[in-house]
Amino acid sequence: MSGVWRLFGVWPMPQQITQSTDRYLLSPQSFSFSYSKDSAAQSGCSVLDSAFKRYYSLIFPDAADGARKTEFSINTLVAAGAAALKAQSVWGALRGRVYSLIYSLHCIYYFVNKTEIQDFPRFEFRGLLLDTSRHYLPLNAILKTLDAMAYSKFNVFHWHIVDDPSFPYQSYSYPDLSSKGAFHPMTHIYTQSDVKRVISHARMRGIRVIPEFDTPGHTQSWGKGQPNLLTPCYKGDVPSGTFGPVNPILDSTYQFMSGLFKEMKSVFPDSYVHLGGDEVNFACWKSNPNVRAFMTKMGFGHDYTKLESYYIENIVNISSALNKTPIVWQDVFDYRERIPKDTVLEIWKGVPADYRTELAKITHAGYRVLLSAPWYINHISYGQDWRNSYTVQPQNFSGTDQQKALVIGGEVCMWGEYVDATNLHPRLWPRACAAAERLWSNEEMTSNVDQAFPRLEKFRCSLIRRGIQAEPLFVGYCKDEYRGV
Amino acid sequence: MQPQSRDCRFAGKLRPWISYYKRRQSRAPNRQLTVLRCCCTVTEMAALRLLNFWAMLVTLSVCNGWLFENFGSYRNREADEVALWPLPQKIQISGAAFQLSSAGFQITHANGSTAGPSCSLLQNAFRRYFDYIFGNARKQGKNQQKVFDSELQELQVLLTAKDPECDGYPNLKTDESYQLEVDQPTSVLKAANVWGALRGLETFSQLVYEDDYGAHKINKTSISDFPRFAHRGILLDTSRHYLPLKAILTNLEAMAMNKFNVFHWHIVDDHSFPFLSRTFPDLSQRKGAFHPYTHVYTPSDVKMVIEFARMRGIRVVAEFDTPGHTQSWGKGQPDLLTPCFSGSSPTGTFGPVNPILNSTYDFMTRFFKEVSTVFPDAYIHLGGDEVDFSCWKSNPDIQKFMDQQGFGQDYKKLESYYIQRLLDIVSATNKGYMVWQEVFDNGVKLKADTQLHVWKENPQYQDEMARITAAGFYTLLSSPWYLNRISYGQDWQAVYKADPQNFNGTAEQKKLVIGGEACLWGEYVDGTNLTPRLWPRASAVGERLWSDENVKDINSAYNRLAKHRCRMVQRGIPAEPLYIGFCPHEYGGL
């Protein structure tokens, strides 16, 4: 068996790996994870304690629980002395996945090859966006996605939690937002304990949860539970009864936003928050006489991008005052709003030529940037479209090394127009794995998409074995097929 | 943009109608629930369509809109729950609603029905549809004492044929028509045989909805229904990926919910041979299947599929595609495939079935003898598509044979020679056959009852259907319904718009169109993504093949299909969404 063969299941490709043909037997009875004497973390570290437990059953899916008695736990691989895993922090330890190299023969014997790995991510921000507004995703669908994310070493869950169609987040400061803005006030919401559960499930897997409360556009559902928040649109001199983006001219708007973001700060521990800022339609603002009067008063003329800038600036300041680092969509940069230097811009528009130009521009202006444009994997097509995701080069744009360093990572986006719990998982996996490897691995080591194919095929079968409903790349089979429907 | 879910843009046009019915309403003051009659027959719909392109939409709005006008949005929501799919041929729905309780309601055999409690197919169907209707409510044991003034207590199923075919199999000529009268205290479902009864039960279950208090309701309704086409199929491919039995059975359930009646089982192909043959077990056991134990269909698996399908009025037509698409056959049957040559030496690779050896035909005779007994359906699909001639061309023995037969360099003649002999073999088993369109294109002599399956996009399927029917053969359509091909957005709409009789030809020619099939080829599909990829996109084909040809308004279809997909989700089928929105009961089977 060649070395390449054994590497099949490892995804994403580690930065450095050497493997010999020596292989060791692992027995479910005697194998255990344990803290090295020199480790800064010891028993009682909840993240690692539960990770050991989780990965034990991933490695030995057939082992009965009873077999794992502590008296048999010997901190060794048979005949090999100890296997060591060194990491700076628990989060690094979670990424050290010796288990991936373990393959099984006849379902009873487990082997691992003598292996040395030194690994670290290429980008610090490796995200996946789920949209729970266009369709509600039951909690289980989110938790399962977090499991699969961990297997592919994603580390940010970008929760696009609300949008035009529905407001499922149950706010304790403004409960009407979901009681009136959700698809259903009882069955289609995320309660505070749901959110806590997501955050803790993610934390155990080394995943940050960054919520997005997108304003001033994409807010139709907000208006249902928060009167006077949205701009009333006019037809001639009379209100048409419809509403546009958030009303940027009222003090009450900013008081409400302060209140909401204060709540955000206590609910979501991550120091980043996504403020949206994309796709604002100016037609309604233009129709509203009060907004026009405000434009004149502020000296904005007819340039509504200035009004948007004014709004975003206020929102960014609110979040900065709460010590949150804002992430916004590229539109905000394109409108040249005055934004704090630590703001992260997320690129979502256009073909490669477009996003390369945008990468160059944003980094030239000194902002950090995230790339999503090539990874809108809600867009499906016939065939192996994961190959397009795989061949993306996030740092291939004209700019200095300093500029390139401002690319902190990227995100796979699964927008919800056509996706709910019925088709989310097979549509995400293994297609999202392509971006995961691009964001983690060395680009030169992983530049050949044909070489990646058999490894990803193997990895998708291991995802299935772990209960992730990952769809096939092409004709073929998995030893253990998915048994659900 | 998505169609609006409740479109009132045409309310203005409805006013005269509404006031008419309001007047009628005032003459019936005694009703506890105000009766607003809404009569939407297909004939009326068609007539309206002549007046106005939007009339279809109006008509549907009419059905629900009356209630909307009078009771406000809550009442409208209840009536909206009645989203029939596929739309019956003739239907009258009234605003009068009856209540059904899980404690009191029963589906029974009517007095005078030719079927009784010994008809296990129906007994099972009664239970299945009772479960669909009441879901979990049954287990919750709701208040059972209260009797409502207008309660539906019974659905009586009345079969009229001397032999209601309880233990039979459906076939191409099966009468699937039924009449349904929903009234209180008893409703009647009338059909000739069990197959019509199954279709009627599905419709009845779709008529029941839950009101805002969780009560099950059904409106007074009269339906007379029958399919437009006799062959309404779904093709699944179990060779490119193995599909676990559960995935196939789930698909059969979804098919019944959409009134499909043919499961075209593309069971083997180049990539694997999962069919475990009793006569030639080596075909699957010696590397022909992906795995000889975990990736095969044993005889009892096949039996289970056939019986599960039969219980739902679905035929199982197996396809054993030759002479191309047979790489996997060669692994367990030496000398079956043509050895390819490079110059004068064999390359070690193999091409299509070897058509020049007698052993080939001996094998086929024995193999199809088994197949004809395993699969009870009167038809077998023999494939015959996409034969690559290069290997035949390379083989010196084949060249010699070509010379002997006087075929020259025309390898189509060789293919026809093979197919001809195969058809004779299969005819001897008393089975009819279906073949892909190439067999006709290549001029093979065919039995009069052969069904030609049109799948190519080029030449245009309309021209192909015209040619085939002009030659007097039966045909069915799949070209626009290759649902394995996916794209972003609502691609069900194009699927919905395609029509198998949309070609230039006489009325006689059109009658030769027996229907069509949605195909889900397996290159990118296995048990992980099969169901959401197929449903509800295949539902669009289901309505095209069942309902009247004039039922084709996309907005009306969107509203009904969005609800129908929620109904499938509630019944445990992970059917994917059409667009933004929600189901009251989201998919929970994670």
Tell me if B93 is assigned to some domain.
yes
| One domain for residues B384 and B456 | yes
| One domain for residues B358 and B389 | yes
Interface test with B, best of A135, A376, A380, A420 (most B CBs within 10 A): A420
Minimum distance, in Å, between the CA of residue A154 and any CA atom of chain B: 21
- From B185, B206, B225, give the residue that closes a domain: B225
SS3 for A189-231 is CECHHHHHHHHHHHHHCCCEEEEEEEECCCCHHHHHHCCCCEE
Residues 343-402 of A with CB under 8 A from B: 378-384
| One domain for residues B415 and B560 | yes
| One domain for residues B258 and B172 | no
Please list every residue in chain A whose beta carbon sits closer than 8 Å to the beta carbon of residue B522.
475
Instruction: Give the pLDDT of residue A368.
Output: 98
What is the Cα–Cα distance from A107 to B208, expressed in whole angstroms? 49
Residue A163 confidence (pLDDT) above 80: yes
pLDDT confidence of B137, banded at 50, 70, 90?
A: low
Q: Does A89 touch chain B (CB under 8 A)?
A: no
Range of the domain at B293: 231-341+351-571
> Which residue in the set B294, B569, B580 is minimally distant from A134, CB to CB?
B580
Average pLDDT for residues B419-448, to the nearest whole number? 93
Minimum distance, in Å, between the CA of residue B422 and any CA atom of chain A: 28
Q: What percent of chain B has pLDDT over 70?
A: 84
Instruction: Give the pLDDT of residue A88.
Output: 72
Residue B312 confidence (pLDDT) above 70: yes
Residue B71 confidence (pLDDT) above 70: no
Instruction: Give the DSSP letter string of B373-419.
Output: HH--SSEEEEE------HHHHH-HHHHHHHHHHT-TT-HHHHHHHHH
Q: Are B239 and B272 in contact (CB under 8 A)?
A: yes
What is the Cα–Cα distance from B215 to B101, expressed in whole angstroms? 8
The pLDDT mean for chain B works out to 87
Average pLDDT for residues B345-356, to the nearest whole number? 97
> Which residue in the set B242, B486, B489 is minimally distant from A481, CB to CB?
B242
Q: Are A40 and A88 in contact (CB under 8 A)?
A: no
Range in A111-115, A224-228, A248-252 the model is least confident about: A111-115
B562: closest chain A residue by CA: A418
Computed on alpha carbons and rounded to an integer, the radius of gyration of chain A in Å comes to 24
Tell me if B39 is assigned to some domain.
no
Q: How many CB atoms lie within 10 A of CB B302?
A: 19
| One domain for residues B392 and B466 | yes
pLDDT confidence of A7, banded at 50, 70, 90?
A: low
B572: closest chain A residue by CA: A485
Range in A283-292, B89-98, B523-532 the model is least confident about: B89-98
Average pLDDT for residues B492-519, to the nearest whole number? 98
Q: Are B173 and B154 in contact (CB under 8 A)?
A: no
Tell me if B494 is assigned to some domain.
yes
Q: Does A315 touch chain B (CB under 8 A)?
A: no
Instruction: Give the pLDDT of residue B330.
Output: 97
- From B198, B225, B252, give the residue that closes a domain: B225
> What ipTM, to 2 d.p.?
0.88
pLDDT confidence of B18, banded at 50, 70, 90?
A: very low
Instruction: Give the pLDDT of residue B44.
Output: 41
> Which position among A279, A411, A444, A481 bears the catalytic label?
A279
pLDDT confidence of A344, banded at 50, 70, 90?
A: very high
pLDDT confidence of B81, banded at 50, 70, 90?
A: low
| One domain for residues B270 and B363 | yes
pLDDT confidence of A335, banded at 50, 70, 90?
A: confident
Q: What confidence tens digit (pLDDT) does each residue in A81-121 have?
A: 456 677 777 777 777 654 444 444 333 456 777 778 888 99
| One domain for residues B252 and B372 | yes
The pLDDT mean for chain A works out to 89
A166: closest chain B residue by CA: B581
Residue B7 confidence (pLDDT) above 60: no
In this complex, do A426 and B529 lie within 8 Å of one another by their Cβ atoms? yes
Minimum distance, in Å, between the CA of residue B491 and any CA atom of chain A: 11
- What is the interface size between A and B, counted as CB pairs within 8 Å? 145
Q: Which residues contact A450 (CB under 8 A, 6 or more apart)?
A: none
| One domain for residues B250 and B209 | no
Tell me if B164 is assigned to some domain.
yes
pLDDT confidence of B77, banded at 50, 70, 90?
A: very low
Tell me if B49 is assigned to some domain.
no
B237: closest chain A residue by CA: A475
> Which residue in the set B529, B575, B582 is minimally distant from A183, CB to CB?
B582
Looking at residue B192, which CATH number applies to its domain? 3.30.379.10
Residue B79 confidence (pLDDT) above 60: no
Minimum distance, in Å, between the CA of residue A399 and any CA atom of chain B: 34
pLDDT confidence of A28, banded at 50, 70, 90?
A: confident
> Which residue in the set A136, A475, A483 is minimally distant from B523, CB to CB?
A475
Give the highest mean pLDDT range of B1-5, B60-64, B208-212, B456-460. B456-460
Looking at residue B494, which CATH number applies to its domain? 3.20.20.80
Locate A300 and state its tokens.
């904005």
Residue B118 confidence (pLDDT) above 80: yes
Residue B75 confidence (pLDDT) above 60: no
Helical segments of B442-491, H only: 461-470
Instruction: Give the pLDDT of residue B236.
Output: 98
B240: closest chain A residue by CA: A475
Q: What confidence tens digit (pLDDT) does each residue in B400-411 have?
A: 999 999 999 999
Instruction: Give the pLDDT of residue A1.
Output: 32
Instruction: Give the pLDDT of residue B252.
Output: 98
| One domain for residues B208 and B248 | no
Q: How many CB atoms lie within 10 A of CB A345?
A: 27
| One domain for residues B210 and B238 | no
A476: closest chain B residue by CA: B241
> Which residue in the set A184, A422, A477 is minimally distant from B575, CB to CB?
A422
Buried b (16+ CB within 10 A) or exposed e, A282-303: bebbbbbeebbebbeeeebeee
Q: How many CB atoms lie within 10 A of CB A271?
A: 12
Instruction: Give the pLDDT of residue B567.
Output: 96
- From B196, B225, B254, give the residue that closes a domain: B225
Tell me if B471 is assigned to some domain.
yes
Tell me if B249 is assigned to some domain.
yes
In this complex, do B290 and A477 lie within 8 Å of one another by their Cβ atoms? yes
In this complex, do B576 and A471 lie within 8 Å of one another by their Cβ atoms? no
Domains in chain B: how many in total?
2
Instruction: Give the pLDDT of residue A76.
Output: 33
> Which residue in the set A417, A421, A464 is minimally distant from B528, CB to CB?
A464
Higher pLDDT, A480 or B52: A480
Q: Which residues contact A246 (CB under 8 A, 6 or more apart)?
A: A215, A216, A219, A222, A229, A230, A231, A253, A311
Average pLDDT for residues B378-396, to the nearest whole number? 95
pLDDT confidence of B254, banded at 50, 70, 90?
A: very high
Q: What confidence tens digit (pLDDT) does each residue in B526-560 have?
A: 999 999 999 999 999 999 999 999 999 999 999 99
Q: How many CB atoms lie within 10 A of CB B378?
A: 17
Q: What confidence tens digit (pLDDT) does each residue in A414-452 have?
A: 999 999 999 999 999 999 999 999 999 999 999 999 999
| One domain for residues B179 and B261 | no
Minimum distance, in Å, between the CA of residue A158 and any CA atom of chain B: 20
Interface test with B, best of A433, A481, A482 (most B CBs within 10 A): A481
Tell me if B211 is assigned to some domain.
yes
Among all residues of B, which ones are annotated catalytic? 386
In this complex, do A482 and B527 lie within 8 Å of one another by their Cβ atoms? yes
What's the gap between Cα A47 and its chain centre?
19
| One domain for residues B294 and B377 | yes
What is the Cα–Cα distance from B1 to A260, expressed in whole angstroms? 31
pLDDT confidence of A266, banded at 50, 70, 90?
A: very high
